[in-house]
Structure 1
């Protein structure tokens, strides 16, 4: 107690700085740092840019994209079976020219080619704010508001936490609605793994 009082007086009097270790009893071990925990559900976040449907009516515009991926819900003892267990993804794409933007969700499978190089495939659904019927030559007629979305990527792990990926994604209604122009975007993403 006397040591604590002396340290407090020294600090108040403008003396040298007091560290937490100075307040521990003689010979006591310092407290370990508090552990930092990663989010329990989120395994990765990604941001990127894509070219909007370069061969379609909305070509010449770009999208900002963002995506969150979950951890795998469980792991298999067999490494081959483990590759078949997907992660859940949720994301969105905002068109910077006011063309079709969309939100999406689905499943993602990641396969390592080497320790640094990987390929990825995903499948799910999307909803968009674009046109369902043709209105002019500068908008895609997507037929339905809800679409299927699939994507493929080739990526590289730059560090333990950071990745870069080249990606292509396609959205369409698979012929379930009268119009099915579809939307295919190409781009780059940067990912951070927790």
Structure 2
């Protein structure tokens, strides 16, 4: 599952990056690590993250010039991994301090639900219910909030929170979702 998610994120990045690379406002790559599944504490292990944030194309100027992004989050214990794509808005607090708000769609390789027809004492049902977040759907919304500080013209450090769930819109029923929070380092070029 991890390999499929990574391959999907890489393919989407390779397909999208050339169309946006000529924009003089820059492209940014971010690497991070997050604490995984903060709300339920069922899944554990940190997630390693990678994101590509592209310069906002002119046709998005009317909605405050969000940056398109591609993102991957990979669990160190081979639990739920996910990839996402969406838009990220940056708001300057000072010359070097920025708030980021992102919204997009994600795909995860997690467990959708337990087999409700299995007996209550079924070992597989018990294992899944006690060790995995039950996502409800594979396609989920991806929402992020972050704060980054520019330590140079090209490098930033930051903290962020992310949430993936279907919000009873992309699915119904089970919706344990995932909440992750962590730190990241960014590198910008092409400005």
TM-score normalised per structure 1 = 0.74
C-alpha deviations, 1:38-86, integer Å up to 9, x for none? x42561110010010123143431011000011110289xxxx778111
Residue in 2 that maps onto 1:181: 176
- For residues 13-41 of structure 1, give each alpha carbon's deviation from its aligned partner in whole angstroms, at most 9, with x where no partner exists: xxxxxxxxxxxxxxxxxxxxxxxxxx425
Pairwise CA RMSD: 2.0
Gap regions ≥5 residues in structure 1: 1-38
Which residue in 2 is equivalent to 1:167? 160
Q: Which residue of 2 aligns with 1:152?
A: 145
Q: Determine whether 1:118 maps to 2:98.
A: yes
Q: Does 1:46 align with 2:50?
A: no
Give the structure with higher Rg (CA): 1
Q: Which residue of 2 aligns with 1:131?
A: 111
2:134 matched residue in structure 1 = 141
Contact map agreement 1:52 1:58 (CA 8 A) in 2: no
Matches within 5 A, 1:15-164: 39-40=21-22, 43-74=27-58, 84-134=64-114, 135-164=128-157
Task: Return 5+ residue gaps in structure 2 as ranges.
Answer: 1-20, 115-127
Instruction: Write the distance in 1 (CA, Å) between the matches of 2:47 and 2:73.
Output: 6
Q: Secondary structure at the match of 1:66?
A: strand
Q: Distance in 1 between matches of 2:132 and 2:44?
A: 12
More helix as a share of residues: 2
